[in-house]
Amino acid sequence: MCFICGLENPVGLKLKIYEIEPGVIETTYTAPEHYQSYPGILHGGIVATILDEISGRSHMGDPSKARFMYTAKLEVKYRKNVPIGKPLRIVGKAGKTKGRMAEAWGGIYDETGTLLAECNSLLIDIPAESLNQVDQDALGWKIYPD
């Protein structure tokens, strides 16, 4: 039921996220008009939500090293308006790791390759005892292999 990746969430974005190389993930998305703010423009809150998810997921690629993390800090830069109704390419890249913390980057590009919005995030591992209480397979938390 994840808002971003939950394929069964009736109001979610249903993004399928793919690892394209170690530490780099990608998805595509065309935003429908019911997520717009001003006419033709994707709402900034949805933009930030997508960037939050894609940056955090960049540390989940290799199942043997997958890290489940929550966002401690998210800095979003809105460079240009993100359009609705047009294909977007969304990329996440894992950054430095130190102990329980990690950095990541996310970006949203239009079909010409122009960077429209980006983020830098600081992530912290979810405590193992919290993860042990849930069925991760049932949640559908995964990165699809390319």
The pLDDT value recorded for residue 137 is 60
Nearest to 122 by CA among 53, 71, 76: 71
pLDDT tens-digit readout, 90-141: 999 999 999 999 999 999 999 999 999 999 999 999 887 776 666 656 655 5
Q: Is the pLDDT of residue 145 over 80?
A: no
- The strands making up 144-145's β-sheet, listed across from edge to edge, are 69-78, 115-125, 101-109, 87-98, 24-30, 18-21, 144-145
Mean pLDDT taken over the chain: 89
- Domains of the chain in start order, with CATH, are 18-145 (3.10.129.10)
